[in-house]
Amino acid sequence: MEKTDIQSWLEDQNLSLLENILSLEEVFWSNPKLEKFQNGIEKSLLSEEDVAGAEERLKRFAPYIAKAFPETSVSKGIIESPLLKIPTMKEKLELDYGGPIVGELLLKCDSHLPISGSIKARGGIYEILKHAEELALENQLLSIHDDYSILASEKFHTFFSHYSIAVGSTGNLGLSIGIISAKLGFKVTVHMSADAKQWKKDLLRSKNVHVIEYDADYSKAVEEGRIQAEADPRCYFVDDENSRDLFLGYAVAASRLKRQLVELAITVDENHPLFVYLPCGVGGGPGGVAFGLKLMFQDHVHCFFAEPTHSPCMLLGLMTGLHEQISVQDLGIDNVTDADGLAVGRPSGFVGRTVEPFLSGNYTVSDDCLYKLLKDLVDTEDIYLEPSALAGMIGPVKLSKEGSDYLQKYDLVNKTGNGTHIVWATGGGMVPKAMMNQYYQKGIVNSW
């Protein structure tokens, strides 16, 4: 972007918040552009029908998923994760941060989604299935009334092997796209940023996925992937920065969550607010989930994004209104964090603009805090997450300590006691044990 834009923006800003962001301190920001749901949705480029269409497509594919990934046969090929109460962790948070968390605390365990062990098993898999369906329909190999388990046959495998898929990733999107694409028969290339973990690359290579490594960050891996894919008309590029399909795949989480809340006898309405805390990288995962949740619960749900102090890209994009025109590096922030999925320097402009009227706010969290929370969750609930997935865990504490203006503005002060906090645990299910032990050890160093 033009330096003059940054400078003119700086001049009109709440400088103390910006100073704190620049000094890599943890911050809490509430979104002044949050609108009433009805006003926001009227301007939105995506609608309830789009999300319903994605849900229907995933139902069509369920017989295929159940056949190709037998671990999903119990859920009949629907890729979904548990929603758990975590009362012991709640006590631990209250003890350590010196104050009650008012309302119920739940963990949405996307870390334990089948197939790829992260939130990417929603959007990533959905986008590849949609592409596969389009190819098969165009070539008259499939009708939408067929039993899609036929897609697991040799005939389809051979058909898809004439096409290829490419994606740029810090790791987890690569895992999800790589695994599903290879299973269907596609040739697949994953362009990995420098921070991607070795075990993720090894795992993909063991599944015949072509992994190309870059000595640079996520944005570079995506850009290279895009350039290489453009040169090949049979190659489909999964564009994590701009993809509506990824976004819609994530958004389907909301209707499923609604059913899980009903099963737990949890009400969400005017007097029973729902607060959801979502770790954010480029934005598609948390943005899609938040969008779906707003469609489901409108003004009764309050969604907050969580980012590392070293990668507050969505926060910067939203607070400046510059979206993808600004990167953390523009402000001298290094984008170095152990929270792999969140090591993103430039946010998705598509996601930022789509969620701008719906998002309640955004906060940042240090890597040390992520490790501490990782250890605490193991000790209290025996649940293992990867560091990025803990970013949501501090949300209820931040809201109660720093969000009083927000709670007052939306008349929530006396309602939070009847409310529910959902921490979205976005990944960790596939992390090798030895690696997880290292994470836990780092949590010991950072505990008190």
Ligand X SMILES: *Cc1c(COP(=O)(O)O)cnc(C)c1O
Minimum CB separation of residue 221 from ligand X in Å reads: 13
Q: In angstroms, rounded to a whole number, what is the distance separating the alpha carbons of residues 122 and 114?
A: 10
Minimum CB separation of residue 245 from ligand X in Å reads: 13
Q: In angstroms, rounded to a whole number, what is the distance separating the alpha carbons of residues 394 and 76?
A: 34
Q: Of residues 172, 311, 320, 327, which one binds ligand X by CB under 6 A?
A: 172
Of 88-96, 375-383, 386-394, 437-445, the segment contacting ligand X by CB under 6 A is 386-394
396 in contact with ligand X (CB under 6 A): no
Beta bridge partners of 421: 105, 275
Q: Of residues 249, 283, 312, 419, which one binds ligand X by CB under 6 A?
A: 283
Of 93-101, 203-211, 277-285, 435-443, the segment contacting ligand X by CB under 6 A is 277-285
280 in contact with ligand X (CB under 6 A): yes
x-marked contacts with ligand X along 284-323 as a string, rule CB under 6 A: xxx-------------------------------------
Closest to ligand X by CB, 44 vs 116, is 116
282 in contact with ligand X (CB under 6 A): yes
- Tokens standing for residue 262: 């009903």
Closest to ligand X by CB, 80 vs 268, is 80
Closest to ligand X by CB, 103 vs 117, is 117
335 in contact with ligand X (CB under 6 A): no
DSSP category for residue 346: S
Kindly report the number of other CB atoms within 10 A of residue 346's CB atom: 25
Of 59-67, 83-91, 194-202, 282-290, the segment contacting ligand X by CB under 6 A is 282-290
Q: In angstroms, rounded to a whole number, what is the distance separating the alpha carbons of residues 88 and 175?
A: 32
Minimum CB separation of residue 155 from ligand X in Å reads: 34
357 in contact with ligand X (CB under 6 A): no
Kindly report the number of other CB atoms within 10 A of residue 143's CB atom: 8
Of 51-59, 113-121, 209-217, 394-402, the segment contacting ligand X by CB under 6 A is 113-121
x-marked contacts with ligand X along 119-148 as a string, rule CB under 6 A: xx----------------------------
Query: How are beta strands 28-30 and 420-425 bridged, if at all?
Result: unpaired
Using only C-alpha atoms, what is the Rg of the chain?
21
Site size toward ligand X (CB under 6 A) is 19
Contacts of 68 (CB under 8 A, 6+ apart): 151, 152, 183, 184
Closest to ligand X by CB, 193 vs 400, is 193
Q: In angstroms, rounded to a whole number, what is the distance separating the alpha carbons of residues 381 and 401?
A: 24
Minimum CB separation of residue 72 from ligand X in Å reads: 20
SS3 406: helix
Closest to ligand X by CB, 327 vs 388, is 388
DSSP 31-85: -TT---HHHHHHH-SS-HHHHHHHHHHHHHHHHHHHHH-GGGTTTTT-----EEE
Contacts of 145 (CB under 8 A, 6+ apart): none
Q: Of residues 421, 426, 431, 442, which one binds ligand X by CB under 6 A?
A: 426
Beta bridge partners of 167: 190, 238
Q: Of residues 40, 117, 281, 429, which one binds ligand X by CB under 6 A?
A: 281
Alpha-helical regions (H) of 139-217: 154-160, 172-184, 198-206
Q: Of residues 117, 279, 396, 429, which one binds ligand X by CB under 6 A?
A: 279
Q: In angstroms, rounded to a whole number, what is the distance separating the alpha carbons of residues 90 and 108?
A: 14
Closest CA to 364 of 381, 400, 330, 388: 388
Q: In angstroms, rounded to a whole number, what is the distance separating the alpha carbons of residues 170 and 120?
A: 12
Minimum CB separation of residue 123 from ligand X in Å reads: 7
Positions that interact with ligand X (CB under 6 A): 118-120, 172, 279-286, 341-342, 386, 388-389, 426-427
